[in-house]
């Protein structure tokens, strides 16, 4: 059902999910309008990937701020089940409990963060992998296409079934993660950590390789294949 204004969309709603511009002032203004139009019990969630709920709700009265949270989906959101539920400093415990339950009712896989942190969980993990990937390409260790092949045929497959800590817990055998860290931990700790050049000039060679490998704009078949594989993985997991 289409609405012609935020007020019309929020009127009578029990659950409001905002996906407006990633601009703090714009979100504060929009949430003030949504709070005015929505019922007093309605949860008010933002899809923001960077702006915390505390900042969005900072000008709202306490009773309204208590209902404001982040409900951050992961791209592509029509396929990825994850939603990161992140309460603000004034979000009520009740709202923090209800929001994940509502997402689960819609078939999503919510996680609840215990405190606000820039980038939340998914993007922080993605950023760590991105920075190491950029370093490996910048330093001439590997080319973009081969790096992606490595991830698709190792970590990507593993992480589709188990998370990184769960996978290492399994890798430790009967001793679990403790045994894994005792056996492999020192070797992992010895791997050098570098700060890649994330400037425009520094990432230009990486970007150029990506454009050469995948086209610009990216070839449509790549997104189609991504969606096909991801949907097949979700179907397979649902059968388990």
Task: Please list the active-site residues.
Answer: 84
Q: Residue 71: is it exposed, middle or buried by C-beta count within 10 angstroms (0-12/13-18/19+)?
A: buried
Q: Which of 63, 67, 66 is nearest to 18 (CA)?
A: 67
What distance in Å separates the CA atoms of residue 38 and residue 11, rounded to the nearest whole number? 5
Decide if 29 contacts 36 (C-beta within 8 A): no
Q: Among candidates 237, 229, 76, 236, which has minimal Cα distance to 153?
A: 229
- How far apart CA 142 and CA 128 sit, in angstroms, is 17
Q: Which residues make beta-bridge pairs with 152?
A: none
Per-position DSSP letters for 82-97, written without gaps between them: EEEEEE-TT--HHHHH
Residue whose tokens read 């449509």: 220
* CA angle in degrees (0–180, nearest 5) for 200-141-159: 85
């Amino acid at each position: 059902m289409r609405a012609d204004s935020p007020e019309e969309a929020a009127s009578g709603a029990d659950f409001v999910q905002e996906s407006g511009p990633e601009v703090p002032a714009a979100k504060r203004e929009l949430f003030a309008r949504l709070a005015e139009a929505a019922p007093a019990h309605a949860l008010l969630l933002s899809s923001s990937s960077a702006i915390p709920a505390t900042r969005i709700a900072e000008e709202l009265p306490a009773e309204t701020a208590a209902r404001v949270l982040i409900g951050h989906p992961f791209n592509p959101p029509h396929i990825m089940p994850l939603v990161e539920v992140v309460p603000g400093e004034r979000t009520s415990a009740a709202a923090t409990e209800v929001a994940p339950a509502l997402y689960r009712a819609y078939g999503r896989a919510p996680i609840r963060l215990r405190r606000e942190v820039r980038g939340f969980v998914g993007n922080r993990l993605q950023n760590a992998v991105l920075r190491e990937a950029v370093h490996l390409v910048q330093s001439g260790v590997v080319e973009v296409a081969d790096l992606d092949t490595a991830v698709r045929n190792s970590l990507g497959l593993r992480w589709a079934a188990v998370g990184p800590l769960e996978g290492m817990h399994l890798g430790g055998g009967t001793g679990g993660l403790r045994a894994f860290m005792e056996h492999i931990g020192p070797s992992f700790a010895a791997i050098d950590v570098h700060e890649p050049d994330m400037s425009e000039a520094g990432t230009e060679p990486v970007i150029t390789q990506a454009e050469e490998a995948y086209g610009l704009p990216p070839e449509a078949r790549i997104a189609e294949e991504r969606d096909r594989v991801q949907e097949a993985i979700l179907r397979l997991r649902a059968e388990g």
